[in-house]
Amino acid sequence: MRLSDTMLGLLVGAFGVAILWHIASYPTIPGHYYGPAMFPAIVGWGFILFGGMLLLRSIRQAAWRKPLLDWQTWRNNGRGALAALFVLASIQAYIYLGDLIGFQILGFLIMAVLFLWAGRTLVFSIGLAVFVTVLLDALFSKLLRVPLPTGVLSQFWW
């Protein structure tokens, strides 16, 4: 997924304007020109400057004729795109279901599915996923004493 320089320049410039607009409401220290808005303002102007340079460059090189968004790596590789989307969804699953279901089951499921996707047999995938899950859990919750949410397993987990 690739944004063209034209698109990037436009987005970055707009982001700079948004920063300046947002910080306009920040309070100032009475009697001084500096305050909490000063540094973000410098960065905001920087975004406008660098976005402008990108745009200028792409106009000069006539690069604006290129497609604004290039989806080739995702569109031409349905299987890979599916796995990548699964990766993103699985991280979201940790955020929203981690407490409820538990890290161990989620980790096991995610790894087993991805191992299967890689073309491994069911037995191998489940076996390796169980092994890595137990290994990581032992490392964090036993050795390093980070309490990982166990969710539905909390009754049975070691």
Partner 1 sequence: MDYLLPALGMVFQGDILLIVLLSCLFGFVVGVLPGITATMAVALMVPITFALSPLAAIASIVSAAAMVMAAGDVPGALLRIPGTPASAAYVDDAHKLTLQGRAGYILGVGALCSMLGGVVGSAVLIFAAPMLANVALNFSVFEFFWLSVLGLSCAIFVAGNDPVKGGLALLIGLIISCVGMEYSSGLPRFTFGNADLLDGVSFIPALIGMFALPEILRSFLRAGKDVDTSGTRAVDEWKNVFSTVWGYRRVVMRSSALGSFIGMLPGASADIAAWISTAVARRVSRNPEKWGTGHVEGVIGGSSANNAALSSAWIPALVFAIPGDTITAIAIGVLYMKGMNPGPAVFINNADLVYAVFLVFLLANLLLLPFGWLAVRIAKVVLAIPQRLIMPSLLVLAVIGAFAINNDFSGIAVMFWMGVLAYILEECDVPIAPIVLGIVLGKIVEQNLMQSLISSQGNLLGFFERPLSAVLGCATLFIWCFPVLRRILRRSPATAAA
Residues that bind partner 1 (CB under 8 A): 1-3, 5, 8, 12, 19, 22-23, 26-27, 29, 32-36, 38-40, 43-44, 46-47, 50-51, 53-54, 57, 73-74, 76-77, 80-81, 83-84, 87-88, 90-92, 94-95, 98-99, 103, 107, 110-111, 114-115, 117-118, 120, 128, 132-133, 136, 139-140, 143-148
DSSP class of 144: S
Q: How does DSSP assign 41-69, residue by residue?
A: HHHHHHHHHHHHHHHHHHHHTTGGGS-SE
How far apart are alpha carbons 14 and 55 in whole angstroms?
Answer: 12
Q: Which is nearer to partner 1, 22 or 152 (CB)?
A: 22
Q: Is 9 helix (H, G, I), strand (E, B) or coil?
A: helix
CB of 152: closest distance to partner 1 in angstroms?
Answer: 17
CB of 123: closest distance to partner 1 in angstroms?
Answer: 15
Q: Which is nearer to partner 1, 128 or 153 (CB)?
A: 128
How far apart are alpha carbons 113 and 105 in whole angstroms?
Answer: 12
Q: Which is nearer to partner 1, 31 or 156 (CB)?
A: 31
Q: Which is nearer to partner 1, 30 or 62 (CB)?
A: 30
CB of 141: closest distance to partner 1 in angstroms?
Answer: 9
How far apart are alpha carbons 130 and 132 in whole angstroms?
Answer: 6
CB of 156: closest distance to partner 1 in angstroms?
Answer: 20
Q: Look up residue 18 and give its two tokens.
A: 């948004």
CB of 4: closest distance to partner 1 in angstroms?
Answer: 8
How far apart are alpha carbons 106 and 27 in whole angstroms?
Answer: 46
Of 138, 139, 109, give the one whose Cα is nearest residue 125: 109
